[in-house]
Structure 1
Amino acid sequence: MEASKLGLYFEEFEVGKTLKHSLSKTIFECDNNFFSLLTMNHHPVHTNIDYAQKNQHGKILVVGTLVFSLAVGMTVPDISGKAIANLGYEEIKHLNPVFINDTLYVRTTILDKRESHTKPDRGIIYVETIASNQNGLDVLSFRRKVLVKKQIIK
């Protein structure tokens, strides 16, 4: 039996390549409620149907940081499975609303990569991740730098 592979080594990332992540997630009402409670985000647009129906979208809006957390998590098997650390996130953009029962799909493009200046066993990849819903509408994007192990140490 072959062991499952978690993540890529630095050498395996190709600048310009886009990875379509195999994980997906339908966001259920209980996911949104638990996340709202856990993070103490009690805004009624996320938890009160009556309130939400009387506002812009007319229905419960999923908490944006839940969408972000799920998108990051769905990239782990491909992007950060061999990571030493996430070095930083930037340009997090909520492009369109996400609602209860929407399904998220995620893709990541490798924007750049470089070897570490101080440690020969690692390198930094710079990626952009975009989450879309079941209709192919992009709902979230962000960029991050990830410190990744090398397979071959020079």
Structure 2
Amino acid sequence: MATHPAVLGRFFEDYTVGDVYQHPLGRTISEADNTWVTLLSMNLNQNHFNAHLAQQNPITNGRIIVNSGLTVSVVLGISVLDMSQNAISNLAFTDIKMSHPVYIGDTIYAESICTGLRHSQSRPYAGIVSMITRGLNQDGDEVISWKRSVMVATRESGIGQNYFPAAKSGPLELPDSASAGTTNGVSE
């Protein structure tokens, strides 16, 4: 039996320029999400929380529009597992484009393409990964995009690895009764 260590994401040497990462999680935006982030960020544009006023907005056909800060955060968060789980630092976040409105009830997905790689000159334990990320709604409409660069640890650095604590009671083992009469956990 094997122990699979707690390691998430990719390290610098795992990226290839031109590879596309379709991030595995989608996120449906609720009214509570939108209201909470709008109030938390003190964004007082009533198109985000006042349905009566939003009815006058010709761009949204009278619907409440999701706070763009929430859209940025959700798409960025969705991309972390593949693009920056082992980042040491964000370096650049440019060319943000809001290309389609996001509404309450929309489900957001994200994908990224690696556009550049270089070893850090000042940090030998890391490299710079550049990417373009875009968010799509459930209908495939691109709702947002940007360019981003992050400093990502190399696997050799050990950063982001070997952090899981050793249990004082010893390793987790299969009880004797559970292993009797089974093959790979399946009853015979």
TM bucket by the smaller chain?
Answer: over 0.9
Q: Aligned equivalents of 2:100 and 2:6: distance in 1?
A: 35
Q: Aligned equivalents of 2:95 and 2:7: distance in 1?
A: 29
Counterpart amino acid of residue 65 in structure 1 = G
Gaps of 5+ in 1: none
Give matches, 1:2-81, under 5 Å. 2-56=4-58, 57=60, 58-81=62-85
User: Residue by residue, what CA displacement relative to the aligned partner does 1:74-98 show, whole Å, maximum 9, x if unpaired?
Assistant: 1111111111011110001101100
Report the count of equivalent residues.
153
Q: Aligned equivalents of 1:119 and 1:101: distance in 2?
A: 43
> Which consecutive aligned stretches of 4+ in structure 1 deviate over 4 angstroms post-superposition?
none
TM-score by length of 1: 0.96
TM-score by length of 2: 0.79
Give matches, 1:89-128, under 5 Å. 89-128=93-132
Identical counterparts, % of pairs:
37
Q: Aligned equivalents of 1:87 and 1:30: distance in 2?
A: 31
The CA deviation at 1:119 is: 2.1
Per the alignment, residue 141 of structure 1 pairs with 145
Q: Aligned equivalents of 1:11 and 1:127: distance in 2?
A: 15
The CA deviation at 1:4 is: 4.8
Q: What RMSD in Å do the two structures reach over aligned CA positions?
A: 1.1
